[in-house]
Amino acid sequence: MSNTQLVPYATLILRLALAALFFAHAWLKLAIYTPAGTVKYFQSLGLPAFIAYITIAGEIAVGVGLLLGVLTRIAALGGCIIVLGTIVTVHGSRGWLFTNKDGGWEYPAFWLVTLIVQALLGDGAWALGPSLGLAL
């Protein structure tokens, strides 16, 4: 049995945790690997350079949407596209366990599931989207 009064707060916690993950991954690409290093890595995967920049911008946009609770469902679905991209281009061929060399697809798959749950739940508590007329 669930306590429906707590669902908005559980949704908020999930939304903020996912936002933190997207910001952390964008920061990693900007500050640690640098945009130029990220581009080189993406090119080593056979991807065009511009995909690296789109990915960084996407991670930041998804993070902002989730953090603020603005267009949360769209942000979560956008995050699904990014995470699916990592499974297809990087982690899928590395096996299931994320502890495998270069990481398997276990962690991105779990991340994908949490994003789908967020998209189904919507904004949750303390979201700005509804007050701005941007809730779906």
Domain regions of the chain by residue span: 7-127
Mean pLDDT, rounded, for 19-37: 98
Q: What is the pLDDT of residues 10-27, one digit of tens each?
A: 999 999 999 999 999 999
pLDDT band with cut points at 50, 70 and 90 for residue 1: low
- What pLDDT shows up at residue 24? 98
Q: Indicate whether 35 pLDDT > 70.
A: yes
Q: What is the mean pLDDT of the chain?
A: 96
Average pLDDT over residues 84-102: 93
Window from 57-61, 69-73, 97-101 with minimum mean pLDDT: 97-101
What is the rounded average pLDDT of the residues 37-55?
A: 98
Q: Which carries the bigger pLDDT value, residue 78 or residue 100?
A: 78
Q: Helix, strand or coil for residue 133?
A: coil
What percent of the chain lies above the pLDDT cut of 70?
A: 99
Structure tokens at 19: 């936002």
